Amino acid sequence: MGGATAANQLEGAYDVDGKGLSVADAMPGGKQRMSILASPEFDWTIDEKHYVYPNHYGIDHYRHFKEDIALFAEMGFKAYRFSVAWSRIFPKGDETTPNEAGLHFYDCLIDECLKYGIEPVITISHYEMPLHLAKEYGGWKNRALIEFYVRYAKVLLTRYQDKVKYWMTFNEINSATFFSALSQGLVPSNGGADKTNVFQAWHNQFVASAETVKFGHELKKDLQIGCMSIYSTTYSFDSNPINQIATQQSIQEFNYFCNDVQVRGEYPVFTQRLHEKYGVKSEDLEITEEDLILLKNGCVDYIGFSYYMSTVESKTGEGTSASGNMVLGGVKNPFLQESEWGWAVDSDGLRYALNDLYGRYQVPLFVVENGLGAIDKVEEDGSINDDYRIDYLRKHIIAMNQAIEDGVELMGYTPWGCIDLVSASTGEMSKRYGFIYVDLDDLGHGTGQRSKKKSFDWYKEVIASNGEKL
Ligand code: BGP
């Protein structure tokens, strides 16, 4: 048990010690980000005059990491999942020599974790590919990125092989369904989120991931390298069989497609149907025989996944109608409450997710993100009484305990945003997940001071009792 973050959302120091710009650095916050993510019309030119770029400063973890890790240690974290910013190590992405100053930061961060007995869990790429690769190479649809990524991953694996056992290749790889700008660097100026591009980009990412896994295993047998995807428990609109079929197809597309390739090392049988659905012609995709062999030789050791909410598939033929949830779509579930962002709170859905994934793949599972984004109120005495967050997490931990009793092999749990950070979808600070409050607003104004929320002490007890005392 521990917590999870991502470099682009908390480190800040976006241009310090040789770091290059990443795609996240070019994303404005607030309404502009929402509209870019919904219908991308963005040329990736940093425009300091018009936008606020929350990721530039994050919570300045780059300078405060010792203080932050000490607070994680105080809560008793056994594991800490964070990502390395690719653009700190290879500022433009296509260099051949890594940036030592960037690596030095992670040397210190990892050592700080180990000092407290906290197991580092590293995401190699989490929504932060070098901007140069998106602008000049067209993002992940370009095969050249395989080589660049693998070079970068090899640097990390080689350097940290004796200190870091658990790795993940790409954060939420299936998020390209709606987040292809952030996760694949596909933007209008390079052809955008055209489905042929998305599938080609996925393929290139699968190959890069497989090569990384293969390299890691050859380097050191006991390294555990996982994939990472979003799991969305998806319910049928009603018991009409045609709606059930629609639900099944949407589950295959969103929950299984990427996992199938990365866990089983081959494309699933429904791939052809998926291509047809989007008008993607197989002959337009570059997939070589060698690639397919590599996929087989680079199967991941475990599945890391994020779970925040469930969805209800729209009635067949109606398309997706918003439930207020811009991320996954679907229709509102009358049995569930929603967060302020329309994310349906559904802890039973997590038990379902764990059983479903374990039943299908029989590899260990790791819940590497989960949590409630909420607006927290600081009382006059400085306290933050986030009972709603405690309630959310408690129910999800109960669900995980039930899944373990069901027979699922669960490796760990790292709730998202253990310290407040910039939200990925809104680019704002006010959507908070942390046990630790950070005094900064959506414009980056504030002292940056850290303070403990009520959930801090609660979680500390949960960890101490290994999930027994809830
Ligand atoms: C996941 C991402 C994270 C994170 C989280 C919460 O999709 O991997 O980067 O931010 O969701 O989402 P948000 O910040 O949009 O509330």
Coil, helix or strand at residue 227 = strand
What's the 425 CA to ligand 1 centre distance in angstroms? 6
- Indicate which atom in ligand 1 lies nearest the CA of residue 230: 7
In the prediction, which pLDDT does 181 show?
87
Cα 185 from chain centroid (whole Å): 15
369 as an active site residue: the answer is yes
* Neighbouring-strand partners of residue 312: 235, 331
Q: Confirm if 49 and 458 have CB atoms less than 8 A apart.
A: no
Segment 239-251 shows an average pLDDT of 95
Mutate which of 414, 425, 432 for ligand 1 pocket (most atoms within 8 A of beta carbon): 425
What's the 62 CA to ligand 1 centre distance in angstroms? 20
pLDDT band at 325 (very low <50, low <70, confident <90, very high): low
Show the tokens assigned to 59.
Answer: 């919570």
- Indicate which atom in ligand 1 lies nearest the CA of residue 327: 15
* Neighbouring-strand partners of residue 83: 123
Q: What is the mean pLDDT of the chain?
A: 94
Helix axis angle, 387-406 to 454-464, nearest 10°:
20
- Indicate which atom in ligand 1 lies nearest the CA of residue 371: 6
Question: Ligand 1, atom 12: nearest CA belongs to which residue?
Answer: 424
- Token look-up 């704002």 returns 428
Cα 127 from chain centroid (whole Å): 8
- Burial string for 157-178 (b: 16+ CB within 10 Å, else e) reads bebbeeebbbbbbbbbbbbbbb
- Indicate which atom in ligand 1 lies nearest the CA of residue 172: 8
Rounded distance between C-alpha atoms, residue 201 and residue 184, angstroms: 7
Cα distances from 448 to residues 3, 421, 426, 444, in angstroms, run: 20, 11, 19, 9
175-189, 265-279, 408-422 — which is least confidently predicted?
175-189
In the prediction, which pLDDT does 38 show?
64
Show the tokens assigned to 307.
Answer: 């779970």
In the prediction, which pLDDT does 322 show?
39
Rounded distance between C-alpha atoms, residue 153 and residue 213, angstroms: 10
Rounded distance between C-alpha atoms, residue 70 and residue 76, angstroms: 10
Strand ranges (DSSP E) for 354-434? 365-369, 410-413
Show the tokens assigned to 423.
Answer: 């939200």
Mutate which of 423, 428, 431 for ligand 1 pocket (most atoms within 8 A of beta carbon): 423
338 Cβ partners below 8 Å, 6+ apart? Answer: 323, 324, 325, 332, 344, 345
- Indicate which atom in ligand 1 lies nearest the CA of residue 341: 16
Q: Residue type for 295, please?
A: L
Q: Which CATH number fits domain 2-464: 3.20.20.70, 3.40.50.11540, 3.40.50.300, 3.20.20.80?
A: 3.20.20.80
Which has more pLDDT, 317 or 111?
Answer: 111
Which of 287, 284, 326, 353 is closest to 424 using CA atoms? 326
Question: How is the chain split into domains, by residue range?
Answer: 2-464
CB atoms within 10 A of CB 449: 11
Cα distances from 27 to residues 57, 58, 104, 427, in angstroms, run: 13, 13, 26, 8
27-41, 142-156, 177-191, 416-430 — which is least confidently predicted?
27-41
What's the 258 CA to ligand 1 centre distance in angstroms? 19
Q: Where are the alpha helices (DSSP H) in 61-175?
A: 61-75, 86-89, 100-115, 131-137, 144-160
Question: Ligand 1, atom 9: nearest CA belongs to which residue?
Answer: 424
In the prediction, which pLDDT does 41 show?
64
Cα distances from 37 to residues 45, 92, 102, 170, in angstroms, run: 16, 23, 29, 19
Cα 300 from chain centroid (whole Å): 17
What's the 51 CA to ligand 1 centre distance in angstroms? 21
In the prediction, which pLDDT does 321 show?
41
CA angle (32 as vertex; 442, 42 as ends), nearest 5? 135
- Kindly report, residue by residue over 66-101, the tens digit of the pLDDT: 999 999 999 999 999 999 999 999 999 999 999 999
In the prediction, which pLDDT does 298 show?
98
- Indicate which atom in ligand 1 lies nearest the CA of residue 426: 15
Rounded percentage of the chain residues whose pLDDT exceeds 70: 96
What's the 7 CA to ligand 1 centre distance in angstroms? 12
Question: Ligand 1, atom 5: nearest CA belongs to which residue?
Answer: 424
Rounded distance between C-alpha atoms, residue 166 and residue 341, angstroms: 32
Show the tokens assigned to 99.
Answer: 């940036």
Question: Ligand 1, atom 14: nearest CA belongs to which residue?
Answer: 423
Coil, helix or strand at residue 236 = coil
In the prediction, which pLDDT does 324 show?
42
- Indicate which atom in ligand 1 lies nearest the CA of residue 171: 8
- Catalytic entry in 11, 128, 369, 428: 369
- Kindly report, residue by residue over 19-41, the tens digit of the pLDDT: 999 999 998 888 888 777 766 56
Show the tokens assigned to 402.
Answer: 């039930």
Q: Report the length, in residues, of the chain.
A: 470
* Neighbouring-strand partners of residue 302: 226
Q: Where are the alpha helices (DSSP H) in 252-288?
A: 257-259, 271-277
Q: Residue type for 133, please?
A: L
Question: Ligand 1, atom 15: nearest CA belongs to which residue?
Answer: 425
Q: Name the pTM for this structure.
A: 0.96
- Ligand 1 binding site (Cβ under 6 Å of any ligand atom): 6, 9, 127, 171-172, 306, 369, 373, 416, 423-425, 431
Question: Ligand 1, atom 2: nearest CA belongs to which residue?
Answer: 424
CA angle (172 as vertex; 228, 302 as ends), nearest 5? 5
What's the 120 CA to ligand 1 centre distance in angstroms? 20
Question: Ligand 1, atom 11: nearest CA belongs to which residue?
Answer: 424
Q: Confirm if 327 and 344 have CB atoms less than 8 A apart.
A: no
Q: Confirm if 213 and 298 have CB atoms less than 8 A apart.
A: yes
274 Cβ partners below 8 Å, 6+ apart? Answer: 252, 253, 257, 280
Distance in angstroms between the alpha carbons of the first and the last residue of the chain: 14
What's the 373 CA to ligand 1 centre distance in angstroms? 9
What's the 239 CA to ligand 1 centre distance in angstroms? 32
The radius of gyration computed from the CA coordinates of the chain, to the nearest angstrom, equals 21
Cα distances from 395 to residues 49, 192, 234, in angstroms, run: 44, 39, 19
What's the 424 CA to ligand 1 centre distance in angstroms? 5
362 Cβ partners below 8 Å, 6+ apart? Answer: none
